[in-house]
Structure 1
Amino acid sequence: MIALTLAEITAAVGGDLRVAGEHTPETVVDGLVDTDSRTMRPGSIFVAKPGAETDGHRFVGAAVEAGAVLAIVEHPVDVPVSQIVVSDAVVALGELARAVVGRVRAGGGLRIVGITGSNGKTTTKNFLARILADEGETVAPINSFNNEVGAPVTMLRVTHDTRYLVSEFGAAGPGSIARLAGLVEPDLVVVLMVGLAHAGGFGGIEATAKAKSELVSAARVPGTAVLNADDPRVWAMRELAEHRGLRVVGFGQSDAAEVRAHDIVVSASGTTCTIEVAGERRPLRLRVLGAHHVTNALAALTAAVQLGVAPADAIARLETVEIAERWRMQPMGNDRVRIINDAYNASPDSMAAALRTLAQITGPDERTVAVLGAMSELGDSAGEEHDRIGLLAVRLNIRRIVVVGPEARRLYLAAVGEGSWDSEAVHLPDQDAAFEYLRTELRDGDRVLVKSSNSVGLRHLGDRLGELFS
């Protein structure tokens, strides 16, 4: 965090300062800000966030032992450290981020990008951060830090030397993107797609689309909206963007897109296509597996060009990215048995895309194996969507469908009902049972996809398989 006095931090968060030791209101603090006491180091600020399972106030002492010099708390704690008492620690974290980013932005050198979408946020963030890093100091979220805590924690990493802040915004419910993006008012916003991921928490896909459009409403004017021209619900947001005075730039494969992809070819070594940008056609060779990542690359490329990056430079930097993120289409295993660990998260759209990629990269003498767990947060659509994925797996001729966990049983039943018989589809109760089955079932020439929602935890099964066949 930039250097601020205790008095300035107190004013930013609207709290009550209680100094300790040799501190005064004019003491300057400029360390890391986080809600995790394990990340603390000398000079840090610890935000004691109450949680459903534990309470951050219990860890103030541990944070101080690790080097924290200030705690933002909801009630005083009997620990010898300066404290700012606030009514809501999470709100205070956001307000501190607002103040810090505002000060840095006032210097005139900071450009802010906001990214949202039902799928692809983290991959697009990583692509764009890689492109921008060669232009100047770039701050972007670690992993998927896109919620009410992760987004402000990322924002607070900016310094007076930061040229770009790339923020990723997830939607916990209606209004959440508006609140988070409203802290920084991005100069450029990217909306990737509207799908059924988390639709159960919104009341349907149209409500999800409205939630995603909150990012367009939060953009700074004049600014730019980079929208997926292939997604009708996203492309419809151009009316809102234009009404607000934003420049709209489309990406995708449709004629409406200004930045387009042609001739997409997927292989086991990556994905190639031709990019049409700024009136020229250029080849792109992504190392990341899957045709769906072309959309994410297009979004990042479009945003980068709008920020002044030369298209040739942006494409060259995209081609250096080896994986989108850990547990996202991550190649593991060896040449004999290849594992694709894509179990960080799953929605109907990403599940279908991953299955299609598995089918595309598997040769005629190789065998496709899909290890699938449940997709969470689908609400009333859960049963129907698991049915659809089971049917798709059979129609793609996936030779072994291994369904893990009771929540995914309907996917297994749909696959059997579609004609996956004779042990082509199996249902196993948990990860350990699946590992034991796969340990003896997998053979040379197998190409294995591991895919589930994060809460199911199949990413750990993917790691175990990757290590087994390394």
Structure 2
Amino acid sequence: MLATTLQQIAHVTGGRVTGAPAGGVPVPGPAYLDSRDPGPGGLFVALAGARTDGHDHVRDARAVLGTRPTTAPTVVVPDVTVALGRLARHVVDTRPVRVIAVTGSHGKTSVKEFLAAVLPDATATRGNENNELGVALTATRLPVGGGDLVVEMGARAVGHLTYLAGIAPPRISAVTALGHAHLGRFGSPELLAAAKAELPQATSGECVLAADDPRVLAMAERTWARVTTFGRSGDVGPEDVRLGADGRARFTLRTPGGRARVRLRVLGEHQVANACCAAAVALRAGAGLEQVVAGLERADGPGPHRLQRRRRHDGGLLLDDSYNASPASVVAALRTLAAVAPAGRRFAALGPMRELGDAHDRAHRAVAAAARRSGVDLVAVGEGAQVLGGTWVPDRSAAADLVRRTLRRDDVLLVKASRPERLDLLADDLCAP
């Protein structure tokens, strides 16, 4: 919570106050972006986008941060995003807080959710608000008494994580895994690794790295922080991993302080690595092994459309993993599909994976091969998905028609693609009454 005044916000951000009464304007609540869902007593951050301008939608806001005066008391600044970052850094600097930051090409949202369950009093990123706005908004929700601030940090380019670490300097950080995700955005594996290495470089205390990813493990040479590794060959890792017919993994968590059996609630064997990462971070944060296990088993998962069990309109099972996709995450979802459908027919409606650059065709062919090995019938959805093979359809509507004609009640369907393909709408359509 900000627990401040509009005048103090102006001082911190270098802005000027307009439209405020002489007595000042208290701002006890957090910053927020959606005027339809205001934080009680909070600061509305008015962003001017391509389609809408927040300055025109202040509604009944108590206070506004914007680039021009509004109908509510407003702090006017040249750049709202920069000003919000300064405000968030002020919150972090003036409260007893320990920042725990998580990055990686995949798995970071799940690790963050595991940590939020293990450290129940922590203030954590909501959803995947992992950019300069999301990290700053999370910091403004920190209680006055401080505590742990668990933030997911994404990177769009080299230098981005350095900027985010400037908003919330991490005492503890973790890098999950790199894989092939986002190579199209960064241009090469080397630049991707360099961008992610900025977080360990900015970490002052403890750094947790993936032992089974050589590019992540090499980051140990680029940080002054104490390094702990996780993974099958790491300091904290899994043993005796078993994936049940319910799609949930059971394993023995191996730590320097002992072993414990864990049964996850979230779906997918790939969540074992994420749970081990979170366990390593939590142990370095001072949590005991019993607390870690209880939190891991309590965690519900990273949110809607992220490998959820749903019922189709015909009563059949649908695995909805439509939020996003990378080669590693698609293969993991196919393994889960095989586990929950050991006898019946298996189908996967897959859209293209984006941001793979020159690896696009090669990665899609590898996914298709994994599907064939698992006995999965593929429905390739949309432009760019033809390389998957199987039955190709041009769009979501055609995919829905094909699925309804083809699947029987006992068949299990996986739906997955990169976020821009919006196959979440396909999943919702197939699950509608």
Q: What TM-score comes out, normalization by structure 1 length?
A: 0.88
Question: Which among 144, 147, 167 is matched to residue 131 of structure 2?
Answer: 147
Aligned equivalents of 1:328 and 1:41: distance in 2?
Answer: 26
Matched residue of 1:236: which SS? helix
2:26 maps to 28
In the TM superposition, 1:261-300 aligns within 5 A as: 261-269=238-246, 270-300=248-278
1:459 maps to 424
Question: Which among 273, 294, 297 is matched to residue 316 of structure 1?
Answer: 294
1:69 maps to 62
What is the CA distance between 1:23 and its match in structure 2? 4.2
TM-aligned CA distance change 1:23 to 1:111, over 3 Å: same
Q: CA RMSD in A?
A: 1.8
Aligned equivalents of 1:12 and 1:172: distance in 2?
Answer: 27
What is the CA distance between 1:465 and its match in structure 2? 2.5
What is the CA distance between 1:339 and its match in structure 2? 1.1
1:346 maps to 325
2:391 maps to 426
In the TM superposition, 1:294-443 aligns within 5 A as: 294-333=272-311, 337-363=316-342, 365-398=343-376, 400-412=377-389, 425-443=390-408
Matched residue of 2:119: which SS? helix
In the TM superposition, 1:5-154 aligns within 5 A as: 5-20=5-20, 22-24=21-23, 26-40=24-38, 43-59=41-57, 63=58, 65=59, 67-77=60-70, 79=71, 81-105=72-96, 110-133=97-120, 137-154=121-138
Contact 1:267/1:289 (8 A) holds in 2: no
Question: Which among 181, 188, 191 is matched to residue 207 of structure 1?
Answer: 191
Aligned equivalents of 2:391 and 2:102: distance in 1?
Answer: 38
Matched residue of 1:53: which SS? coil
What is the CA distance between 1:466 and its match in structure 2? 3.3
Range that drifts further, 150-159 or 387-396: 387-396
Matched residue of 2:136: which SS? helix
Aligned equivalents of 2:137 and 2:107: distance in 1?
Answer: 21
Counterpart of 1:4, as a letter, is T
Contact 2:266/2:299 (8 A) holds in 1: yes
1:417 maps to none
1:225 maps to 207
What is the CA distance between 1:41 and its match in structure 2? 5.1
Gaps of 5+ in 2: none
Aligned equivalents of 1:158 and 1:41: distance in 2?
Answer: 13
CA offset digits 1:218-257 (Å, max 9, x no partner): 21x2x0001111111111111112xx2x111111001xx1
1:421 maps to none
Contact 1:18/1:84 (8 A) holds in 2: yes
Contact 1:450/1:458 (8 A) holds in 2: yes
Aligned equivalents of 1:217 and 1:39: distance in 2?
Answer: 37
Counterpart of 2:44, as a letter, is F
Contact 2:175/2:210 (8 A) holds in 1: yes
Question: Which among 172, 182, 185 is matched to residue 156 of structure 2?
Answer: 172
What is the CA distance between 1:69 and its match in structure 2? 1.8
TM-aligned CA distance change 1:207 to 1:164, over 3 Å: same
Q: Give me the identity figure in percent.
A: 39
Contact 1:265/1:273 (8 A) holds in 2: yes
What is the CA distance between 1:304 and its match in structure 2? 0.9
What is the CA distance between 1:118 and its match in structure 2? 0.3
Is 1:258 the equivalent of 2:235? yes
Aligned equivalents of 2:428 and 2:64: distance in 1?
Answer: 37
Give aligned pairs, total: 431
TM-aligned CA distance change 1:336 to 1:42, over 3 Å: closer
Aligned equivalents of 2:257 and 2:174: distance in 1?
Answer: 21
What is the CA distance between 1:32 and its match in structure 2? 2.9
Aligned equivalents of 1:155 and 1:32: distance in 2?
Answer: 9
2:220 maps to 238
Aligned equivalents of 1:199 and 1:358: distance in 2?
Answer: 27
Q: What TM-score comes out, normalization by structure 2 length?
A: 0.95
